[in-house]
Amino acid sequence: MNEKQLAAEKSVEFIKDGMIVGLGTGSTVNFMLKKLSEQIKKGLKIKAVATSQLTYQLASALGIEVMDTELVNRIDLTIDGADEVDPNLNGIKGGGAALLYEKIIAGNSTTNIWIVDSSKLVNKLGKFPLPVEVVPYGSNFLFSKFEKMKFNPSFRKFEGKNFITDGGHFIIDLNLKIINDSVGLEKELKKYAGVVEVGLFTGIADIVIAGKGDKVEIFKK
């Protein structure tokens, strides 16, 4: 069993009967969904909301009841992946292009668990490109601004065209190498008209479950 699968399967132990569970997006979450599906077949009763169309489709196919987010008035627990996590449990997310919906769900969850393999644990954020979700209109102006700020921007592409998120936006990835002030950088980027969301998730994760070799390590806020 690989590190992602170990972390993912461990996280399912935190899901209890009657919970409304937020389902993140990405390859590690997919392992969690399969394990959750097994537990539901054994009698676990939960409802869920999804952070992306991909997650919705996979969860539904596995027999997990996924509700429309508009019909939910609480989320007890959200389990999601992360692209990088620092020692303060701040992270970069959005490699799977679902950062906006992931942040909406996380921000309305009582508890947030991130599941990662050991390669995602870093001393400082920034090696992984920072996703910035932007409205298409005027995105070239934002791109130029980021170039002038020496943020080394690049539009995320799919089949030669700008990738379009579930929300109908573009993603500009910033290749920063190192982020010294994640809270300050998020505030700075959000000042610019056209920026919808930033893939910096600070103060959000309550628990991080990391696969390390053949064991799991649990970090708490």
Point out the residues that are catalytic: 102
Scan for tokens 């952070």, then name that residue.
51
- Which has the closest alpha carbon to 219: 82, 16, 93, 34? 82
- Which has the closest alpha carbon to 107: 29, 38, 49? 49
Which DSSP letter does residue 104 get? H
| Spatial separation of the C-alpha atoms in residues 48 and 22, rounded to whole Å | 6
| Spatial separation of the C-alpha atoms in residues 208 and 199, rounded to whole Å | 17
